[in-house]
Structure 1
Amino acid sequence: MRRIRSRRLRVTWNIIKICILLLMAGTLGLLAATFYSVSKVLPTHEDIDAWVPKEATLIYSSDGALLAQVYEENREPVPITEIPKQLQDATIAIEDSRFYMHSGIDFRGILRALVENVRSGRVVQGGSTLTQQLARNIYLSHRRTVSRKLQEILLAREIERRLSKEEILERYLNQVYYGSGAYGVKAAARTYFGKPPSKLTLAECALIAGLPKKPSGWSPYDDKEAAIRRRNVVLTRMAELGYITEEEAAKAKTEEVRLVGIQYGRARVKRAPHFVDYVLKQLVDKWGPDEVYRGGLRVETTLNLQMQEAAEKALIREVQRARREGKKVGQGAVVAVDPHTGHIKVMVGSLDYRDPKGGMYNRAAQGRGRQPGSAFKPFVYTAAIDNGYTPNTILQDTPISFPDGDKVWAPKNLDGKFRGPVTMRQAVEQSMNIPAIRMLQMVGVDKVIAYAQRMGIRSPLERNLSLAIGTSEVTPLELASAYGCFATGGLHAKPIAIVRVIGRNDRVMEENRPSLTRAIPYETAKVMADILRGVVTRGTGRRAHVIPGACGKTGTSQDLRDAWFVGFTKDLSAAVWVGNDDYTPMGPSTFGGSTCAPVWVGLMQTALPIIARHQRAQPKADIARREAQERQVTTPEERQRIRQEIEQNTVFRVVCLESEQLAVRQCPRRKRVGFPRGFEPTETCVLHGTGADDVGVQEAPVASDSERPSGHEPMPLDSGGAASHPASPVRPDQESGPTAHGNRASSGAAGGAASGSPAGASARIEEVTICTSSNKRANEYCPEVEVRKMPESQIPGVCTLHGASAGADGGT
């Protein structure tokens, strides 16, 4: 019995050994076959340099005009002996510090990256060596599969076996993509700095070396500040590894970035160059540079060329007029969006794209934006209207002040005057600062941030009371998109630049359809549209009244550094900005109403007839369906759901003021700002610490009506004018009831609007701005005005005492 059992055990063990040997043999055979197949596809040295441009990508406007023809820049390989040692060192320092110590695969680097990624809870480091990147960029696809990764590893070892370190580095520097259509260091040096690689400074070498990891996001043409931050990270790393001294790094960090002017590959941009840049960045981000610059794509975009040219001409005309009047206006931008689809119809990023002093920079959509001034106030009042206040709510325009460290912040109106009790409608029309700040206090800073971001603002918004008068930077594209909510009855359409991308063999690679969401209730949007209509008919935006149905808001930042007009009709929303890149004041009387509104009018006079022609060609059923969707009355349950979504979709993070990434404890200057959920920063500050010291991922809920964010909203000092509570904050879906502050009154006592309709829209008594000198209806040049109520039949004619020579707009 024992012999039989022993025999069975020997047979079983032999079978197991045979299986193990077969498995090992199969694995070794598979590895050998893979290694053999990889080694066979390794090109020769001549093949590496033999790349040539493929088919050009064509970019078209919505009306079929060719905007640009884009193809890869001819690569001019440069020997390693002509590439500065500092550029070589910078590349190795930031991409592969153990380049000269490994044989293609850096297991220590892979382990270090794995530990950092586990510690941070997200991918913050990669473990690929320069050799692996060379294999991936030139010979393999970018698909993230196990087989591709295995090919990359084996091919990296084979490259290391066949080529010297200098040859590998030379090929990497000649083939890698550096953003803005530049392949290789020679193209990058000429694209960004207009010089050969041998003439680059240390700071320029560091900037170029930092680009390959994120070429579209860190290109100085796309985001100059991000490029500078990345350059400084490279310089710090070079100093840590001993390639340069700490003094050399510090000196290079202070060097100004002087760009020569962008030329995407050999892109022949015929029209709308800023928009073309905007589209190219999206294409490269999604499809990669190879597909865009060599793939022969046909790209159908949203831009309307006739509208674009009208905006360009109007902006140049008005800026030149302002300069003739002695105003120091250096730059401008215009952007227009179809509020029903999100289609970007116009994008003007500067006065002259070819201007070497920043003409290529897209001020309409790029970077951190500018302070919107009073153009931000509609978001404050939108939150107020949606939470029970009415256009007739009384607000105090009286002196107010707040402790600000060891100082006192005492905001004022632009003209330095205080008007006492005013209605919300009057405060908006005359662009008063104090009532907006008081309204922000009553509604809550966090709630206003949440509403603004729900409506389309994507830039971070600081949690302080000066938010009410527009001190947080935003872009013109954000404002035009957000104001579109008022035109559509509360629906927000995500901005779209690309309609369709067609590849080889007419294959549709990408198709973008309008994406609309209910941002604010229909009733709230219509009340705000009615208030903003008053800005154009009676307030600071009167120069836009010639456009039928025009609504909008002027904006001017502190010391007249920025001027805005953001306006809309039922079919188009547009924002116009003027200012100086160095933030110098533009001089007296440079207001949004006097300088920007005429640009907006010039655009609309061309755009609206074009839109009308297109609508006549549309099926009437489609138009009726769209209008029915926009006019959908919001139920109380729906309003509550929207408010909950608004509160839940805003997050607050503590960010470093220098890197604009999540702050760590070592960051010397930090601030807490609000972001739309999904747009908050995820990487910790690279300038002052690591993810282990993260303090930036604190999240706070939106403050309730009665809350004050502690430490961020100081209560006003006694200055003779306490903020008033609303006399009758009637919600549009109820006639009367308890308010956020416990008041209860009838709508008639406050002159509120009937349920579901804009306040005062059907009243026979009109509020009219009267010139105090002539007792006639005020024009944009009247220096002293007052608002009076009178029957429509008794409204006087326009004042003739004050004309263009007065030069004062009075709007903010």
Structure 2
Amino acid sequence: MSVAQKLNPLPWFRRYIWKLLLLAIVGFGAYMFYLDAVIAQQFSGNKWQVPAQIYARPLVLSLKEEITAKEVIEELELLGYRRVSRAQTTGEYEYRNQRFVVYRRAFHFPDGFQGETALAMTLKAGRVHSITNLNSQMDISSFRLEPWLVTRLLSEGKEDRMLVSLGQVPPELLDALVLVEDRDFYQHHGIAPLSILRALIANISAGRAVQGGSTLTQQLVKNMYLTNEKSISRKAKEALMSILIDARYSKDQILEAYLNEVFLGQNGDSGVHGFGLASFFYFDRPLNELNLTEMTTLVGMIKGPSYYNPRRHPERVIERRNLVLRLMFEDGKISKSTFERLLDEPVNVATGATLVKGKHPAFMDQVQREIRTILANPDIRQSGVKVFTSLDSNAQRKAEIALTSGVDEIESDRNLSDLQGAMVITDIDSGEVRAIVGDRKTRFKGFNRALDARRSIGSLVKPAVYLTALERPEEYHLATPLFDEPIELPDDGGKPWKPQNADKQFRGQVPLFTALTQSLNVPTVSLGLELGIDNIAMTLERLGVDEAITRFPALTLGALDLSPFQVNQMYQTIANNGAQLPLHTVNAILSADDQVMWTFEQPAIQQFDEKVVYLMNYALHKVTLEGTAKQVRRRFPSINMAGKTGTTDDYRDSWFSGFDKNILVTTWIGKDDNSPTGLTGANGALRLYLGYQDRQEPKSLVRRFPAGLGIAHFNPKSGRATKAGCQSSMSLPAILETLPKRPDKCDVKNPKIQERKKSLWERLFG
């Protein structure tokens, strides 16, 4: 460059200006192309990680079903239905004189969409008497309510949202939002300089900030793509991205994204994003059921969710809400009378219990284990899937109360400390888990005793021994005499093992069903040796025990470590007439767009003859009438139940598994350090069972009489079948085809008892 050029660079600049401009244009174009790619990658795909939504089981109401008005009301209130004198819109119900009118919400179930419907239902004598669809004025046989949203499994990002479509948002909310946050939303192209100027003038006039200058699109860009850094470069980037989004996407798409992205509060350590979630968080209802004061409250909170938190600062949020109402009135969106009427309305905020985290941790522990097996890819689990579980929220709540209060009372009554407990409740017919409690501190999310505590099951094993015998109907029936005499066997260490009955007495012999109902140890061991330990182990496996089983004589008295969940699986097969179904909490999973991804479809396997299991359940019913669990009949004199107590060596573990018509409950009490508690199954775990049944509505146990079974009569000493009407004979159900065609006459005296055959164990070891 010459001296003249150095002194006057203008000619040089003119020569290269077009090249510089071209480079700038190319660079700017490349940068815009880059920003557009960033926008498209997130905006056009899955915009957010959305937590899995975990639902409880839906309440299905059918004609003649046993249910009380109290149970129906509990379910409706849990779902956030509002009791009114006259139900007129979704989410409302009325009740008087055993008649319900329910305006049921729309919901997409795994088997399809269910629309909004008005229904009437009457109860009579504790059963559903009639159901009418008020829309069609036709009688129907059943209906179901939408399931309760139990919890949401949050992603690591700690953001929580519940996606809504534009069609689910009330028009009044959209009017208020656009009016307050971006009046020219439908006219500008992503940025609005006039809006910035208008907001500046309004704020100066008011002496405070009443309007923002950023468009909805700019707010969306800042929330989705940028940080809160206050700099010119960030604002420029925000403006460019806003223009690109406005050019690429429709106003409805932008508005829908904003409705789902906007920050509206804090729920513990996670943010509340979007109006869909905020509606539940603050008002415990879906967005389409909010009234105008509630909608304008949410819109007003956008300016500062912490400052305008309605739970902490109701006076601030009322002032802000009234400002939104005034803007709507001035713009002609609402009438003067409506505006004036709503100014004095209080802000009725819900407790937020619907979205409280950490609910029912023991149950959710099992749900998450099943989800991880079903959906191995964690990205899929964070795509907004809907998980439909078997949780009965009322049963869970009552189980938690029963366990906590029951353990407290037992400690107080017996001067004990450091007791722990667990409870598992399942539906007998389906294998669905209704409730799980894994700690006396029911909200404690830690060691889950219901699932992971392997404890000796004691006498709970005995039904497996007697079931093995009853499967040989030619040799054993309920009246078969069993020997109750001293036994001495080597244990696994070679030392002598001398099993004893709880009362340290020997009776010589007892009928089989008496040995079970009274939970006698010695006859059980004698019977187990006759049957063979391997056969008992195989029975346990068929009942659903999936643990390795050590085969030695002490197995007959419960030398087997299982969790309460595994015990419940074992007793489910017995209670379900011998048909085994895997216990499970997850029934179905839908994608975010309501497509079925997975359903539970495992059929029941009939592991035992129904006639044999009926005999077992008859004996377990006798346990609750006159056996070790006779407290059940005392507490519920008009309701039939069945069950078995369990007590382990040195009183370290107290167990009970019991069932009525529909549900099976397994309870356990013990200490984490495995030290003795002094509790039997009857004065420990059984009390938890009774405490739970006290809090709900147990249904009387009914089991059909299988073909081939009948009532027979037996001599109590010999166990032989006798004619009907014989003095002192026992009447018991029996498999008739295996009994002698000519039963003994009544005058047979002192019948000879057949000598017991020695087992293989006894023949080998004496």
- TM-score for the superposition, normalised by structure 1: 0.45
Rg bigger for which structure?
A: 2
Higher normalized contact order (CA 8 Å, seq sep 6+, divided by chain length)? 1
Q: Please identify which structure carries the higher strand content.
A: 2
- TM-score for the superposition, normalised by structure 2: 0.48
